[in-house]
Amino acid sequence: MKTALVIGGGITGLTAMYYLQKLKKDQNLDLQLILVEKDKQLGGKIKSVQNGEFIMETGADSIVARNEGVMPLIKELKLENEIVYNETGISYIYSKNQLKPIPADSVFGIPTSVKSLFSSTLISPKGKMIALKDFVSKNKHYTSDSSVGEFLEAFLGKELVNNQISPVLSGVYSGKLDKLTMASTLPYLLEYKNQYGSIIRGMAKNKAKFQSSSNKKFLSFKGGLSTIIDRLEEQLTDVTIYKETKIHEVKQGTHTYEVLFDNNDTITADFIILATPHDVAQRLLKTVQLNQEFTKLKNSSLTSVYLGFDVPDQQLPANGTGFIVTENSDLNCDACTWTSRKWTHTSTKRRLLVRLFYKSSSPFYETLKNKSKDEIIHTALRDVEKSLGISGKPVTVEVTDWNNLMPNYHLEHNSAVTSLTKKLSEQFPNVFIAGASYFGVGIGACIKNGKQTAESIVNHLKNAAV
């Protein structure tokens, strides 16, 4: 009998183990399955907190529905009746102390038409004229490894990028645009420029795809995202699960691996999936040959603050779902989601629930991280009053600090992961890295990666048996 060990009980590790169990049963494999998680509950960054009528998420608040593998897994778990979709509405950018709408006919702040460009209240007439050079300029040297910020500025102009596109994309990818590659953000923009001669024209030609996916493209569950974690755990009936268990080291043997726990217990494994942050994987493997690649991978930090008020959410601007903040603002937050408006299941009495985000990419974060919880709440309340004109004592508060735990896909990320994967397969056969640290942010990407990793192990098993 072979043993497959998954280290890390977040969504990637759970998905990998779910599909390992499924493949074991379908193919009648002689395989022992073990999952180890250091915390007392599974889920990693996914955790739903209920306080009275409010449902709050410590990590991501949704799953992109159209991502490959998401709906098939949800259907297999029989969770279709638990699904809720986001309410659609206007997204704003807080610029020059005002909430200004992001043009509806845009994607990630990028215009999909000339009309969309000229309807923007975020860009000056001069900035709009400069953006038109996109229709006549040619791409002579930008590739998928180029900075997305440099690429967009070259063809759409600095003002459009800084005022409208950068606040949106920086929020999605947790980093400065000049530090992110095309490959790790929006590679299709490069394809559009090369194929149609214009980013805007390419967006227009593919408009139907974006329109069809723009309405209700995010999903959650009636009881919060923890629903999928709980259901996955229920399904792992043929898996030995260790919680509140820390691993000290993974040692390489002749044909297997010895896994040493902090309590001095050991187990032997034939296959290992490291579904952990990259720095944890580096610590467990303890090999200098991989340090160069591991140290190239970077994390950022994020503090999230939920505030629930005893006021109706109709006090928010009509049809709005939240705002993003430009640089040099009088607000300290980077973004604010109007959760009770965007996700009606999070506030059964339709009272106001908002969520503010403070990211380490902001200069203010260095000050924030040294503040007490009460001081952080006070900062958030001040931001809500400045931006929305709503004051008063909240009836519920939830503060979550993800310190150095948010993957940052910088310019060298993809090459570092490629090199790391190659070296790992050579030096640690049958050990796999998996998860958001390497192969894509978002729950959908983690689900896909978890399934693919499980399939890789089964393929190795089958090939070894031939």
Residue 134 is part of a domain; what is its CATH number?
Answer: 1.10.3110.10
């909430």: which residue's tokens? 99
Is 437 part of a structural domain of the chain?
A: yes
Average pLDDT, the chain: 92
Mean pLDDT across the stretch 86-109? 90
pLDDT at 106 over 50: yes
pTM: 0.89
Compare 211 and 452 and report the one with higher pLDDT.
452
Q: Is residue 213 scored above 60 in pLDDT?
A: no
Count of C-beta atoms within a 10 Å radius of residue 30: 9
465: phi then psi, degrees, rounded to nearest 5: -80, -15
**Is the pLDDT confidence value at 135 over 90?**
yes
Q: Where among 172, 193, 213 does a domain terminate?
A: 213
Residues 188 and 230 in one domain: no
Pair (26, 8) in one structural domain: yes
pLDDT, average across residues 164-185: 81
| 98 in any annotated domain | no
pLDDT of residue 209 exceeding 80, the answer is no
Q: Which helix (H) or strand (E) holds 207?
A: helix 207-214
Is 184 found in the same domain as 124? yes
Average pLDDT over residues 288-315: 93
94 assigned to some structural domain: no
Is 190 domain-assigned? yes
- Is residue 218 a part of any domain in this protein? no
CATH code, 74: 3.90.660.20
Single residue among 364, 380, 406 that ends a domain in this structure: 406
* Res. 340: pLDDT tops 60: yes
Q: What is the mean pLDDT of residues 110-132?
A: 95
- Give the sign of the dihedral formed by CA 87, CA 172, CA 224, CA 447: positive
Distances (CA, A) of 356 to 246, 319, 337, 362: 32, 19, 7, 14
Distance CA 466, CA 459 (A): 11
Distances (CA, A) of 152 to 157, 169, 200: 7, 11, 11
Q: Is residue 95 part of a domain?
A: no
Verify that 349 and 402 share a domain, yes or no: yes
31: domain CATH number?
A: 3.50.50.60
pLDDT at site 160: 97
* Structure tokens, 161: 């990028």
Domain count, the chain: 3
Range name among 107-116, 232-241, 311-320, 333-342 with the lowest pLDDT average: 311-320
Distances (CA, A) of 103 to 123, 241, 256: 11, 48, 56
Dist. CA 34–CA 19, nearest whole Å: 13
Other beta carbons within 10 angstroms of residue 248's beta carbon come to: 16
Mean pLDDT of 372-376: 97
Work out the average pLDDT over 263-272: 95
Three-state SS for 227? helix
Per-residue confidence band for 211, with pLDDT thresholds at 50, 70 and 90: low
Examine the domain organization and report whether 200 and 113 are in the same domain.
Answer: yes
Structural tokens at position 434 = 């998996």
- Asked if the structure places residue 122 within a domain, the reply is yes
From the list 358, 347, 371, 465, the residue with the least C-alpha distance to 402 is 358
Question: Among positive and negative, which fits the CA dihedral 254, 259, 260, 266?
Answer: negative
Q: Residue 215 has what pLDDT? A: 55
pLDDT digits (tens, 9 = 90+) for 419-436: 999 999 999 999 999 999
Residue 36 within a domain: yes
Q: Are residues 321 and 196 in the same domain?
A: no
Average pLDDT score over residue span 188-217:
83
Same domain, 419 and 372: no
- Burial class for 302, CB neighbours closer than 10 Å (0-12, 13-18, 19+): buried
Residues 230 and 206 in one domain: no
Give how far the C-alpha of residue 170 lies from the chain's centroid of Cα atoms, to the nearest Å: 12
The answer on 419 and 275 residing in a single domain is yes
Same domain, residue pair 420 and 368: no
With pLDDT > 70 as the criterion, what percentage of the chain qualifies? 97
Looking at residues 38-54, what average pLDDT do you find? 96
User: Which of 406, 421, 438 corresponds to the end of one domain?
Assistant: 406
Q: Which of 205, 176, 201, 202 is nearest to 187 (CA)?
A: 202
Confidence tier at 214 by pLDDT (50, 70, 90): very low
Residues 441, 393, single domain; the answer is no
Q: Tell me the mean pLDDT in the region 128-144.
A: 95
DSSP three-state, residue 21: helix
Residue 38 exposed, middle or buried by CB count within 10 Å (0-12, 13-18, 19+): middle
Judgement on whether residues 293 and 303 belong to the same structural domain of the protein = no
Segments forming the whole domain that contains residue 141: 103-213
CA proximity to 170, closest of 194, 155, 189, 186: 186
